């Protein structure tokens, strides 16, 4: 029977720690502030942004939300980012992705002050992650590392296979595993012998965005399986990238969907905002 790595339980512990630190910081005159920008009316993005706002309030942080119409221009969006860069009340700026097609995502990410880039997507922060001297970590990979630590799963010396090479999850996930002394393989749509490579993994991270993509014949007995996916199955039910029902009996530990990695992503966003706010004391 696999250990179920619960993001709900672990994120609650992380948020409790953050709330205590926020209270200490506020006593010294600094309230961590997060500004979230959303453009358009994508339902999934609306849910994520609402959750981030509620968590801010729950932890005693200051929150600003900017809901912009689909017709927003690049110039208007960049002007808002520049204003928030200069706002001393704001320690973290997050622009909810994906943006509508007519907007320049890269230009927006590049415009955010690296010191307020709590998503850790700015090229400067990405470079710092590469060399292991970072201020912020991308929230989902950071959340996964926190889950492993909480569950006493040490990547050192293990073979970690990451399926997916996105800038948001796959690449930084591989880098954090490398920093934790794992041996890392990154797989993607052009990888040959994918099934065989996955079966060699001690830790398998699925971040491919396809429902139930990882099947039982791709998983080694006793592996730790981390499911980053958030999809809908043929019945419209939430599911991950892993065929949970058939894979779970093989694992030593596995994350569920929902209730696995998702809650950790928001918790680590709050951690990054707190880290940014602490700079005000230096």
Q: Give the whole-angstrom CA distance, residue 107 versus residue 119.
A: 15
Region for 248 from its dihedrals, namely left if φ exceeds 0, alpha if ψ lies in -120 to 50, beta otherwise: alpha
Residue of 116, 117, 119, 271 marked active site: 119
Residue corresponding to tokens 């509620």: 54
Residue 119 among the catalytic residues: yes
CB atoms near residue 174 (< 10 Å): 21
Residue of 15, 96, 117, 202 marked active site: 96
Q: For residue 265, give the nearest of 139, 121, 146, 167 by alpha carbon.
A: 139
Residue of 52, 116, 158, 212 marked active site: 52
Q: Give the whole-angstrom CA distance, residue 67 versus residue 229.
A: 26
- Helix, coil or strand: residue 244: helix
**In sequence order, what DSSP letters do the residues of 2-46 get, joined into one string?**
-EE--HHHHHHHHHHHHHHHHHHHHHTT---EEEEEEES--HHHH
Q: Which two tokens stand for residue 79?
A: 């002007």
Q: For residue 221, give the nearest of 205, 200, 190, 206 by alpha carbon.
A: 200
**In sequence order, what DSSP letters do the residues of 52-106 get, joined into one string?**
HHHHHHHTT-EEEEEEE-TT--HHHHHHHHHHHHT-TT--EEEE-SSPPTTS-HH
Catalogue the active-site residues. Answer: 52, 96, 119
């Amino acid at each position: 029977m696999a250990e179920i790595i619960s993001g709900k339980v672990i994120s609650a512990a992380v948020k409790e720690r953050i709330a205590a630190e926020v209270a200490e910081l506020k006593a010294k005159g600094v309230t961590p502030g997060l500004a979230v920008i959303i453009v358009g009316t994508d339902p999934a993005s609306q849910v994520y942004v609402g959750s981030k706002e509620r968590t801010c309030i729950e932890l005693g942080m200051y929150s600003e939300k900017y809901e912009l119409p689909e017709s927003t221009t690049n110039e208007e969006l960049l002007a808002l980012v520049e204003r928030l860069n200069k706002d001393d009340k704001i320690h973290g700026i997050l622009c909810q992705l994906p943006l509508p097609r007519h907007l320049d995502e890269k230009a927006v990410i590049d415009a955010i002050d690296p010191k307020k880039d709590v998503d850790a997507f700015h090229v400067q922060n990405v470079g710092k992650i590469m060399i292991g001297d970072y201020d912020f970590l991308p929230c989902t990979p950071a959340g996964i590392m926190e889950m492993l630590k909480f569950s006493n799963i040490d990547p050192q010396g293990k073979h970690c296979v990451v399926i997916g090479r996105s800038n948001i999850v796959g690449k930084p996930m591989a880098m954090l595993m490398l920093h934790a002394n794992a041996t890392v393989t990154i797989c993607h749509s052009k990888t040959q012998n994918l099934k065989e490579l996955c079966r060699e993994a001690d830790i398998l991270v699925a971040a491919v965005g396809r429902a139930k993509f990882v099947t039982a014949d791709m998983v080694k007995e006793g592996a730790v399986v981390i499911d980053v996916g958030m999809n809908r199955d043929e019945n419209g039910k939430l599911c991950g990238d892993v065929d949970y029902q058939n894979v779970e009996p093989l694992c030593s530990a596995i994350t569920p969907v929902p209730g696995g990695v998702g809650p950790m992503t928001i918790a680590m966003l709050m951690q990054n905002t707190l880290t940014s706010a602490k700079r005000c004391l230096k």
